[in-house]
Amino acid sequence: MTIEAEFTEGLLVIRGAGTVTASDLREMPGLTTAFDAGRAVTPNRLIDLTAVEGFDVGFSEMLAAVRERRDAVLSGPTRTAFLTASAVQFGMARMFQTLNDNAQITVRIFEDRAEALAWLRSLP
């Protein structure tokens, strides 16, 4: 999978394209930790899956990725919005949402980018 990440307008925006592999999931915690480092506030995240064509991962790989995120030290509560365009993308985002047990991370799934951005920018 091709991963693009940028910090823009106070948000960490991650875009994926192609096929998501177990290796991709293993790399994500390091990517987000690098963006979080040195920031006074952990930024909210938009994870755009709309260009992802497939997933070569299952439950065990997703669980491992979520556990990495669970153990992350955050500066405070943060929001993660998944942007999806297909049932498979939604299903994978939903698996992450269901497995997430870090009380500081709130996850929602959207099909509309404007709605996702509005939620990420709104006050908790």
Every domain of the chain and the residues it spans: 2-121
pLDDT digits (tens, 9 = 90+) for 6-35: 999 889 999 999 999 999 988 887 788 787
CATH number, domain 2-121, options 3.30.2350.10, 3.30.750.24, 3.40.50.10140, 3.40.50.2300: 3.30.750.24
Give the β-pairing of 78-83 and 44-56.
Answer: parallel
68 pLDDT tier (thresholds 50, 70, 90):
confident
Contact 109, 84 (CB under 8 A): yes
